[in-house]
Structure 1
Amino acid sequence: MKKAIQRIWNNTYYRVWNKFSKLRGRKKWANIDDICIHYEEYGSGEPLLLLHGGIVDHECWTSQIPTLAKHFRVIAPDTRGHGRSSDNLEKPLSYYQFADDWVKLLDKLAIEHAHVVGWSDGGCSGLCMGLHNPKRIKRMITIGTPYNIANYHDGALDELLGEEQWKSNPLFISYGKKANKISPQKGGWIHFLERLIEGAWQQEPNFTLEQTATIETPTLTIIGENEQLFDLKHAKDMSIAMPNGQLLVIPKATHFIPFEQPKALNRAIINFLKEKA
């Protein structure tokens, strides 16, 4: 109950802040190849690309944006098919595709390189950028992000892989209603979810430790003490493999760190991104 009340308060504060603050967001759209990406910008300073997790949109960062906007030019997009961004039904949804979208968004904004912070799916597409476009990233943070689908506990994704579960899971029901209301693909929530599962969740991420060892970008791997999808060992292995990797375990947190421990997460993000090389 306490966490639910805190989350409601954080969301309310964000709404008020985003209406009256000098750092409030500016809604923008960018045409990128076959789709239109919706994103919001907040604050000023070094660019920070803030990548949300699967099925949600940029508003999952309501507990982070007001704080981060005091220090950075925060760019918070909706991933293709998510939120207010459009989709191309002819293309599979994958972390590699998402990463390509982010590079092209940076091109559109004439940003040579940016900090990248990604939670869950956002962290997976961040890793793709780190592997294939390392010069575009200044520093990177992954939050609750596995490097390979084999990292997941047996059965961890079962509740995500069936329509009956989608219809009964309160989180899915909530985001489904929102998606059907704001998405350019009106009423297409179930179809979108099927495509996300088939294109990404059942096949990716598919990196190896040998691949992550080639990511020289300074990278902070953050995991919750009580992460329920995969074991702490895998986050530790990835951070050790990276030449400039660091690991942070946040106490009393699960996969949903941005909601559960926002103050600890915000401190970690700011401290790491402002750390001098």
Structure 2
Amino acid sequence: MNFISNRKTLTIDNNTLSYLDIGTGPVLLLGHCYLWDAHIWAHQIAHLSQHYRCIAPDLWGHGQSDDLPESCRSLPQIADQMLYMMDHLAIEEFAVIGLSVGGMWGAELALKAPHRVKALIMMGCFLGFEPEVARAKYYTMLNIIQHSAKISENLITQIAPLFFTRDVENCHSDLFIDFKQTLAKMPPKQLDTICKLGKIIFGRRDLLEDMGSLTAPCLIMTGLEDKLHPVLEGYLMHDAIKGSEYVHIPQAGHVSPLEQPEFVNIQLSLFLNKHYPNPTHANTAQIGHHLNNNNH
């Protein structure tokens, strides 16, 4: 799917945020994970934009967006920026679909604007503190990258496998190779933002207790082989969020929208048809039934 004609920009704090805006209907705001960009949602946008308007920003320092604004130092501030984008587009109500950090700022946004966020889907995400051992490991990596102004081959061999299923070199070798090449080519200026943003993500606050006040329907999805945010973390979120639904994604690591696009599309459609349907699409119930049948 060619997204060139669907790319737009917005200036926030003198920096340019790039985003995709595709389709018509109820609005979905899609947030990608760290070190990727909005194109990670290509399969989902192709599927969902048939009945929804899909808005997918490139996070600061990712894709075609500018560097992190000087004033931005937390995930709640990123949530504020996304809400500003919705205001700019005159969008009052929307659902959020977030992968990893996209789910983290998505949850912040759902708590900030409960009357506007009508559904929240978090994939490969954890809203508690980053575990201490993992945080220390990631901070060390980020400090090395900042000091050397590049991601070394040694670090790439450590970082890249974290995002994929164990059998990535057989199942998704092209994705794996492309991702490693992307990491290797990141220029120093971009890496500065990547490191600052990484410390914001890994040093985030604990939102689990606050999620008891979430009013929007919530779906949590975790790849069964996710190394960054494993199934156990998904269960902790599921326990903390009353009425939430939890789905395991088979044969998937952290980047499940790319590794298992059909399964992910089915689960997204089932949840959205139930909690945030397009009222002009008369056959949502039939589609949900059809998807359910295909899933068995």
Coarse TM-score class (shorter-chain normalised): 0.7 to 0.9
Structure-1 separation of matches of 2:267 and 2:84: 28
Alignment TM-score, normalising by the size of structure 2 = 0.75
Alpha-carbon distance, 1:89 to partner:
4.7
What amino acid maps onto 2:100 in structure 1? S
Matched, 1:256 2:236: no
Gaps of 5+ in 1: 1-13, 20-24, 181-186
**Residue 194 of structure 1 aligns with which residue?**
195
Specify the SS of the correspondent of 2:87.
helix
Matched, 1:40 2:25: no
Matched, 1:87 2:72: no
**Residue 207 of structure 1 aligns with which residue?**
206
**Residue 57 of structure 1 aligns with which residue?**
37
Superposed CA RMSD = 2.5
- Match among 127, 137, 152 for residue 158 of structure 1: 137
Alpha-carbon distance, 1:173 to partner:
5.0
Structure-1 separation of matches of 2:266 and 2:93: 22
Which digits, 9 at most, give the CA deviation of each residue in 1:180-227, with x for residues without a partner? 4xxxxxx512212221223332x11x2243211111110101101112
Alpha-carbon distance, 1:43 to partner:
1.3
Matched, 1:167 2:174: no
1:88–1:260: structure 2 CA closer, same or farther, 3 Å change rule?
A: closer
1:208–1:156: structure 2 CA closer, same or farther, 3 Å change rule?
A: closer
**Residue 142 of structure 1 aligns with which residue?**
122
Structure-1 separation of matches of 2:269 and 2:201: 30
What amino acid maps onto 2:22 in structure 1? Y
Alpha-carbon distance, 1:70 to partner:
1.1
Alpha-carbon distance, 1:136 to partner:
2.0
1:231–1:200: structure 2 CA closer, same or farther, 3 Å change rule?
A: closer
Specify the SS of the correspondent of 1:220.
strand
What amino acid maps onto 1:252 in structure 2? Q
Which digits, 9 at most, give the CA deviation of each residue in 1:11-43, with x for residues without a partner? xxx34xx47xxxxx5121122343222111111
Specify the SS of the correspondent of 1:30.
strand
Specify the SS of the correspondent of 1:62.
helix
Identity %: 29
Structure-1 separation of matches of 2:38 and 2:17: 12
Matched, 1:72 2:52: yes
- Does structure 2 conserve the Cα–Cα contact (< 8 Å) formed by 1:32 and 1:101? yes
Structure-2 separation of matches of 1:189 and 1:116: 26
Alpha-carbon distance, 1:142 to partner:
0.4
What amino acid maps onto 2:210 in structure 1? Q
Alpha-carbon distance, 1:259 to partner:
1.4
Structure-2 separation of matches of 1:139 and 1:272: 9
**Residue 281 of structure 2 aligns with which residue?**
none
**Residue 26 of structure 1 aligns with which residue?**
6
Structure-2 separation of matches of 1:42 and 1:89: 26
Matched, 1:99 2:88: no
1:32–1:91: structure 2 CA closer, same or farther, 3 Å change rule?
A: closer
Alpha-carbon distance, 1:63 to partner:
2.2
Number of aligned pairs? 248
Alpha-carbon distance, 1:255 to partner:
1.3
Alpha-carbon distance, 1:85 to partner:
1.7
1:173–1:192: structure 2 CA closer, same or farther, 3 Å change rule?
A: farther
Alpha-carbon distance, 1:93 to partner:
4.2
